[in-house]
Amino acid sequence: MTESRLRTLRDYIRWAVSRFHAEGLYFGHGTDNAWDEARQLVLGALHLPWEMSDSYLDCRLEDDERYDLSVLLHRRIQERIPTAYLLGEAWFCGLPFMVDERVLVPRSPIAELIDARFAPWLPHEPARILDLCTGSGCIGIACAYAFPNAEVALADLSFDALEVAWQNIERHDLEDRVYTVQGDGFAGLPGQRFDLIVSNPPYVDAEDFADMPAEYHHEPEMGLACGSDGLDLVRRMLAEAADHLTDTGTLIVEVGNSQVHVEALYPEVDFTWLEFERGGHGVFLLSAKQCQEHQSLFQSRL
Nearest of 164, 170, 158 to residue 100 by alpha carbon? 164
**Is 0.85 surpassed by the pTM of this model?**
yes
The pLDDT score that the predictor gives to residue 2 is 57
Nearest of 57, 49, 51 to residue 10 by alpha carbon? 57
CATH 1.10.8 range(s) for the chain read 3-87
pLDDT digits (tens, 9 = 90+) for 121-137: 999 999 999 999 999 99
Which CATH architecture describes the domain 3-87? Orthogonal Bundle (1.10)
State the sign of the Cα–Cα–Cα–Cα dihedral 284, 288, 289, 294. positive
For the chain, the residue count is 302
The pLDDT score that the predictor gives to residue 114 is 99
Nearest of 291, 298, 66, 92 to residue 193 by alpha carbon? 291
Q: Average per-residue pLDDT in the chain?
A: 95
Q: 101 Cβ partners below 8 Å, 6+ apart?
A: 85, 218, 219, 220
Angle at CA of residue 245, ends 241 and 249, nearest 5°: 120
Query: Helices 63-78 and 9-23 sit at what angle, rounded to 10 degrees?
Result: 10
Q: Which pLDDT band, with edges at 50, 70 and 90, does 4 fall under?
A: low
- Is 90 exceeded by the pLDDT of residue 7? no
The pLDDT score that the predictor gives to residue 51 is 79
CATH number of 101-300: 3.40.50.150
- The answer to whether residues 266 and 293 touch, using CB atoms and an 8 Å cutoff, is no
Nearest of 276, 128, 268, 248 to residue 198 by alpha carbon? 128
- Is 60 exceeded by the pLDDT of residue 50? yes
- Is 90 exceeded by the pLDDT of residue 274? yes
CATH 3.40.50.150 range(s) for the chain read 101-300
Mean pLDDT of 259-269: 98
Instruction: Identify the burial level of 119 via C-beta atoms within 10 angstroms of its C-beta, where 0-12 means exposed, 13-18 middle and 19 or more buried.
Output: exposed
pLDDT digits (tens, 9 = 90+) for 278-299: 999 999 999 999 999 999 999 9
The pLDDT score that the predictor gives to residue 53 is 79
pLDDT digits (tens, 9 = 90+) for 156-197: 999 999 999 999 999 999 999 999 999 999 999 999 999 999
pLDDT > 70: what percent of the chain?
99
- The answer to whether residues 180 and 164 touch, using CB atoms and an 8 Å cutoff, is no
Q: 3-state DSSP call for residue 238?
A: helix
CA dist 164 and 149 (Å) reads 23
- Is 80 exceeded by the pLDDT of residue 3? no
- Is 70 exceeded by the pLDDT of residue 142? yes
Q: 190 Cβ partners below 8 Å, 6+ apart?
A: none
The pLDDT score that the predictor gives to residue 177 is 98
pLDDT digits (tens, 9 = 90+) for 68-127: 999 999 999 999 999 999 999 999 999 999 999 999 999 999 999 999 999 999 999 999
Q: What is the 3-state secondary structure (H, E, C) of 45-71?
A: HCCCCCCCCHHHHHCECCHHHHHHHHH
pLDDT digits (tens, 9 = 90+) for 230-243: 999 999 999 999 99
Q: For residues 89-105, b (16+ Cβ closer than 10 Å) or e, as one string?
A: ebbbbebebbbbebbbb
Mean pLDDT of 242-257: 98
Sheet of 128-132, strand order? 178-182, 151-156, 128-132, 194-199, 245-254, 283-287, 272-273
